[in-house]
Amino acid sequence: MTSEKIEKKLALLPMNPGVYLMKNSVGTVIYVGKSRCLKKRVNSYFNRHHDSNKTNALVAAIDDFEYIITNTEVEALILENNLIKKHNPHYNILLKDNKTYPYIKVTMKDRFPRLEKVRKVAYRDGNLYYGPFPSGYDLSRIIDMLSRTFRLCTSKKAVGNDGKKKRPCLNYHLGLCQGVCQGNISPEEYAVSVNKTVDVLSGKVPPDFTGLEKQLKELSAKFLFEEAAEVRDTLTALRKFFESQKVEFLKPIDIDFWGIAEAGLRVIFSVFSIRGGKLLGNRIIDFERYDDMSLAEALTEVINRHYDIDLIPAFLYSSLMPDGDDSLLEMLSAKADRKVSFHVPQKGQFLTLLEMANNNAREFLRNSETKGKERLDDSVIDLQTRLGLKKPPIHIECTDIAHIQGVDPVASVVVSENGKPKKSEYRLFHIKEAMGGDDPASIGEIVRRRFSRLLAEQRPLPDLFIVDGGITQLHSAMHELELLGIHDQQIMGLAKKEELLVQTDGREIKLPFSSPGMRVIIKLRNEAHRFCHTFQSKTHTQRTLRSSLLNLPGVGPVILKKLILEFGSIENVVKATAEEIVERCHIPLKTAELIINSV
């Protein structure tokens, strides 16, 4: 329940853009957020119950809040980022990056620039950055080769700010540098080598591998295999970066493609980084959003935080525009000190690369959410995304009932595991308590019996349970689940005619028939229908045959019981001869012949 102190503050919130800081009972900032309208955004936390447990936990922990009004959304975006870094709030830790890629830093601010491997980009520091690179080990080889090829200084203390000579390094004695530490070269002459290095890194000039290839042949001819292996590995790393990763663009360009895959509140971003026309690698970002955060808002927040330490390219591509894209681009352009643009590709090579990024995000999502060694089926991801489920519906159950004008009612439960039928888990039921023809009551009975058994055997409940019917059948099933103390079961109805999925609140969802998720649901419903009606037909036939036998003279309940015990079913009795019946059931031949002729 919202405290009186918070209610008073909520009433006084302005309609301006700004940043809000949520605090707990000891005054610690536990969440920092931004909004284009503070009043609407902050009130949304307290005026309803949230589907996300994390959001409910956040709201329960809030004892007070503060807010800062800004003039524009851009200011709010920048301020939010700074406050998150300052306070490190518990509920803002949402990004999980699978790795931190290194960059090449050309220290242009130094009198004699060097090449360094760094993992954080500092904007407007006067230096040049190239990357990110997928392999730190390969990057070290690239830096070493470029430094040797263009004879760049590798020592941080080669020449101090006073210009005094330092003790020469080993590279100087080996002839691998130009003697910066000894004052043998001027900054102007040294800059020529630096510019050549920059041209290679930016893709303007292809690297020359002839020297390394010649060295590899010479070492192999001298049987110096360890040294040759070292040169071979360096050559492989260089070719991998400069040749095999090349994307056929007309000119060297810097682009990031943001692939997206979502399942419930979880969003996976796959970032394809292209630098100087080369595809350098893929970076996975795992993000968990709150239940009232749109996908566009999530994209904005992740981009904002991602480019806080990473190099901002000139172009960003994604399948949707981020929320407040003008404000975001204005902030990124100001940080990069040049124009940054955002695009949604419609065709051509850019669309192909974006689809690659999307596929990588989906693949990571499938493999990370599966319970066993088998990857998640496309239908599971599709259903979780379209239905907004909290977890992937790997285990789905569907029930159906059948009867003939209320006579011989039966039911079935069929099971799908990761998009495939699991026939060993199929179950059949005779309706025992509900009146014949009362479909809602029959559904309720089956749900009670099925879930009671699962609870008694301590087996996991289904991720999604589907009843064949509309809102009436669904309410009957929900009532039985509540009596069993099950309150968080994902359950839906499936209306036959319209093929609509009915939610517990009565809302209807129309899934495309071509979607993988809908195909699995229809297949499962049809399987439940087939399984149930086959059983009902068999049940009805057996009852009819039993009734006809009892009408025969000389055949009563005792003889009928003998027949069933000896032959197992009426169908087997029909297949037997009169002599077999006499021998096994010890009844008169005339009675046996009467039974055979009547059926």
The reported pLDDT for the residue numbered 86 is: 77
Cα dihedral sign, 313-315-320-326: positive
Q: How far is CA 308 from the centre of its chain?
A: 23
The number of C-alpha atoms within 13 Å of 112 and in the hemisphere containing its C-beta is 27
Fold for the domain defined by 381-534: Nucleotidyltransferase; domain 5 (3.30.420)
The reported pLDDT for the residue numbered 211 is 72
According to the model, what pLDDT value does residue 583 have?
76
Rounded distance between C-alpha atoms, residue 98 and residue 287, angstroms: 11
| Spatial separation of the C-alpha atoms in residues 581 and 188, rounded to whole Å | 113
In order of 47, 73, 258, 486, the CA distances from 43 in angstroms are 6, 19, 32, 31
Alpha-carbon distance 138 to 194, whole Å?
21
Q: Is the dihedral of CA 235, 240, 241, 247 positive or negative?
A: positive
Identical topology for domains 255-368 and 381-534: yes
How far apart CA 195 and CA 251 sit, in angstroms, is 19
Q: How confident is the model at residue 257 (pLDDT cuts 50, 70, 90)?
A: very high
pLDDT, average across residues 458-480: 89
Buried b (16+ CB within 10 A) or exposed e, 552-589: beebeeebbeebeebbeebeebeebebeebbeebebee
Q: Which residue has the higher pLDDT, 103 or 467?
A: 467
Tokens standing for 162? 């006073």
> What's the rounded mean pLDDT across residues 245-263?
71
Token digits for 224? 């110096």
- Options 3.50.50.60, 3.65.10.10, 3.30.420.10, 3.40.50.150; CATH for 255-368 is 3.30.420.10
Contact 520, 416 (CB under 8 A): yes
Per-residue pLDDT band for 414 (boundaries 50, 70, 90) equals very high
Q: Mean pLDDT, to the nearest integer, of 227-231?
A: 79
Please report the DSSP string for 70-124 in residue order. Answer: -SSHHHHHHHHHHHHHHH--GGG--EEES----EEEE-TTSSS--EEEESS--TT
Give pLDDT tens digits for 512-541: 888 888 889 888 988 888 888 787 777 756
Q: SS3 of 563, please?
A: helix
Band of pLDDT at residue 161, cut at 50, 70 and 90:
very low
**By C-alpha distance, which of 152, 156, 108 is closest to 129?**
108
Judge whether residue 471 has pLDDT over 50: yes
Residue 261 tokens read as 């895959």
Q: What does the domain layout of the chain look like in residue ranges?
A: 4-93, 103-204, 255-368, 381-534, 551-598
Assign domain 4-93 one CATH number from 3.80.10.10, 3.40.1440.10, 3.40.50.720, 3.30.420.40: 3.40.1440.10
Name the residue among 284, 285, 287 with its Cα closest to residue 266: 287
- Residue 241, pLDDT score: 63
Tokens 């049987």, residue located: 223
% of the chain with per-residue pLDDT over 70: 83
Top pLDDT among 540 and 590 is at 590
Quote the percentage of the chain above a pLDDT of 90.
Answer: 6
Q: Which of 62-76, 115-129, 165-179, 564-578 has the highest mean pLDDT?
A: 62-76
- Tell me how far apart the alpha carbons of residues 97 and 268 are, in angstroms, rounded to a whole number: 10
- Using the Cα atoms of residue 343, residue 348, residue 350 and residue 355 in order, give the sign of their dihedral: positive
The CATH code of domain 551-598 reads: 1.10.150
pLDDT over 80 at 178, yes or no: no
Return the pLDDT at 323: 84
Specify the pLDDT at position 245: 45
> Beta strand 95-97 with 278-288: parallel, antiparallel or unpaired?
antiparallel
Cβ burial of 171 (10 Å; 0-12, 13-18, 19+) is buried
pLDDT digits (tens, 9 = 90+) for 203-215: 676 666 777 778 7
For residue 552, pLDDT beyond 70: no
**CA neighbor of 57 nearest in space, from 31, 28, 94:** 31
CA distances from 437 to 13, 278, 418, 427, 524 (A): 57, 68, 34, 21, 23
| Position 236 pLDDT exceeds 80 | no
Which of 59-63, 148-152, 201-205 is predicted with the least confidence, judged by mean pLDDT?
Answer: 201-205
Closest CA to 511 of 376, 393, 423: 393
Residue whose tokens read 């992740």: 302
* pLDDT score recorded for residue 123: 61
Phi-psi sector, 495: left (phi>0), alpha (psi -120 to 50), beta: beta
Say if residues 32 and 90 touch (Cβ distance below 8 Å).
no
Please compute the mean of the pLDDT values over residues 274-294 and round it to a whole number. 76
Residues 6+ apart with CB under 8 A from 518: 499, 511, 512
Highest mean pLDDT pick, 186-190, 276-280, 307-311: 186-190
Q: What value does the mean pLDDT of the chain take?
A: 79
- Which residues, 6+ apart, have CB-to-CB distance to 107 below 8 Å? 113, 114, 115, 116, 127
**Cα(348)–Cα(248) distance, rounded to whole angstroms?**
12
**Of 298, 297, 302, 301, nearest in space to 284 by CA:** 302
pLDDT confidence of residue 503: 87
Count of other CB atoms within 10 angstroms of residue 215: 15
Asked if residues 516 and 382 have their Cβ atoms less than 8 Å apart, the reply is: yes
Which residues 6+ apart lie within 8 Å of 371 measured at CB? 394
